[in-house]
Every structure is written in C-alpha cells, then in structure tokens.
Chain A
C-alpha cells in the first residue's frame, strides 16, 4: 500500500477555544488582593478579674461621639491632630517603668503625661452609631504614631547589621525573608521600646 501523509490537524479554531477559556477566567476570577489594618483582639478575661491599677495620667483617651466628633483628653480635636498628640503622649517619658527611666524618649517629661511608653495606654471610646470610616481613621492615625516613634527609635538605637535602618525597612526585610532571626530580634527590641497598647472600649449604647 502506498504510504500516505498524515493530514495536518486544522489548528484554525485553537484561537477560538483559547479565547473561550480566557473569557471564562476573566469573568470568574477577581484580582483584588486583600489588604487591611491589622489588629489583635484582647483575650476575654474571666468575669471576676480585677483591672490592674493604672494611673489616669498614663491613659490617653480618644472619644468619638455619634456625630463623628472627636474628643482627645477632654479637648475637641481633629483627625489630623491625633497623630502628633499621641506621639507627644507616648513619648513623654516623665516617670519610670520597671525601675528604669525612658532614656530614649524625646518627649517633654511632663508630670501630667505618661510615665513611659511601656505604661502608656491609648483608649478609644466610640458610640454605637459612630461611623466605621471614622473609627478606622482614628485607629490608623494611632498606629501611624507608633510606627513613627518606632522608626525614629530604630534609626537611632539599632546597632550592628541593621544600623541606620528604620522599622518599616526591617518589616520589609522580614517580609522577604521570614526565617531571619536577626531581623526578628531587632524587631522585638523595637517593639519592646514602644509596645502597642491600644484598647477599645465597648461602644456606648
């Protein structure tokens, strides 16, 4: 029998099939990467736990009422002001914590403000109908205050490999290399200097 050529497969409709698949994926998938403001909620305390004694001057009160108006330490304020007010409060360093004064603080060391970043508590009080957007804005400003202080501390006091880097830089390094113990140690040091103590009160009904 004569040897015949195998006929070539018609690939003309391949593009159509690929287009079909492409459109299917375009319709059924999303591209948004989820990002957000990270918080860790406090654990529920047993009923009869007594609150630890905290001096009034170590609490920075931020209240948002149901009209989204702000009251910071009993003074009306704007969202843009919160960051600086929080920094002044945390960084005051007027007293001692675990027997030590805050030698890295740059604050005014006022008697009326916080003793030490380790003791400084920021409490946010909202109303039931405060808008979520306002609440997030305030949270964001407070977190930004901590980031700013941590950046400053890292640049000034980190020694060795990471000298001169900021806290944000270190976080970026950690993102790329999760197992790096040196970065972890440096970050722990920074977080110990300026621990994030944010408290959310139950909204007023």
Chain B
C-alpha cells in the first residue's frame, strides 16, 4: 500500500498568464460594440412596436430621442408622459429640447439630424401627434418612429 502513498503529488497550478489577454479582448469588444447609456428612464421602459419597413439610424450623435410612455412612479399621475433628457416634461418643452440638441452641432450637420420617437405601443396617437406638431413648428421634420423588426401582428398582442 505504501507504494501508492508515495505517488501522491500536488496538482500543478493552471497557467493563468493568458487570462488578462482574454479579459482585455472581451473588454475591447464591449468598448467598441456598445455605446454609453445616456439617459435614465423615468418612464416605464416602452414596449416598442414592430414593423417590417424599418431603417437603421446612423450617426448616433445626430439623433435626439424623445421617450413616451407611462410614468414609473404613481405620484406623477396616469396618462402618457414625455421624457426629454433625464426628466419628464410637457409637450411645450420639446422645442427647447430640439434647439439645445441642435446647438451641439454645426449648421451642416443640423440638416441631417433625426428625431427618434420611442413610444410605447399603448400610447395614444394624440400624444405623438402633439409632439409631431411641435417638431413641425421648428422645422425638425425628419423623424423616426422607433420600432423593432418583426411582424405587425405583434403590436396587438
């Protein structure tokens, strides 16, 4: 029996020298493939509608996003809320929001700016229509109704 006892050896340590390389690789992947989260949602995360005729938005910096949905905390009241930047605002603030977004870019880029409306499927069209009216008054005519890719029948479920 003692023969077996002698053979007992330490398990060699796993070489972890390449671990930092792997982790760095992952790190760089995420740094390149993702973008910084800009706003904290004050509304319930909107369930976007699905559509088949969608186009991807290019040049993220030229996109101003308007969120529409129900408020997270009940004290803000029922009904559709509009979120601009980090807070819930009224429809009249939309113009100022677009102006401040425009200020960040020069005249050439301003022409290419797009307003993305991220609204929940259950939102009233009236609310979206009010936003559209505000956008028209300041000539921010390019809009995108943010939606996922999928069959339209998903919108009624």
Residues of A at under 8 Å CB distance from B? 11-12, 14-15, 18-19, 21-22, 25-26, 28-31, 33-44, 64, 68, 79, 126-137, 139-141, 143-144, 147, 200, 202-203, 205
Residues of B at under 8 Å CB distance from A? 16-17, 19-20, 23-24, 26-27, 30-31, 33-37, 49, 51-57, 60, 63, 65, 68, 114, 116-117, 119-126, 128-129, 132, 135-137, 139, 141-149, 152-153, 155-156
Further 12 A-B residue pairs, CB within 8 A, beyond A36-B54, A38-B114, A147-B53: A15-B19, A22-B27, A25-B34, A28-B37, A36-B57, A38-B55, A39-B143, A64-B125, A68-B156, A132-B122, A139-B51, A140-B53
Q: Are B27 and A18 in contact (CB under 8 A)?
A: yes
Of chain A, the residue at the smallest CB distance from B69 is A132
When A15-B20, A18-B24, A41-B143 are in contact, do A140 and B152 touch as well, CB less than 8 Å? yes
Nearest-neighbour CB distance to chain B for A70, whole angstroms, equals: 12
Note all chain A residues with C-beta closer than 8 A to B147.
35-37, 136, 140
Of chain A, the residue at the smallest CB distance from B38 is A30
Q: Are A203 and B129 in contact (CB under 8 A)?
A: yes
Q: Are B30 and A29 in contact (CB under 8 A)?
A: yes
Q: Are B144 and A39 in contact (CB under 8 A)?
A: yes
Note all chain A residues with C-beta closer than 8 A to B33.
31
Note all chain A residues with C-beta closer than 8 A to B31.
25
Of chain A, the residue at the smallest CB distance from B157 is A133
Nearest-neighbour CB distance to chain A for B140, whole angstroms, equals: 8
A41: which of B36, B54, B119, B135 is its contact (CB, 8 Å)? B135
The complex places the Cα of A117 from the Cα of B60 at a distance, in Å, of 35
Note all chain B residues with C-beta closer than 8 A to A40.
141-143
A–B pairs, 21, beta carbons within 8 Å:
A11-B17, A26-B30, A34-B65, A34-B144, A35-B149, A36-B51, A37-B147, A39-B144, A43-B141, A64-B125, A79-B152, A128-B124, A133-B49, A133-B122, A133-B156, A134-B155, A139-B145, A141-B152, A203-B125, A203-B126, A205-B126
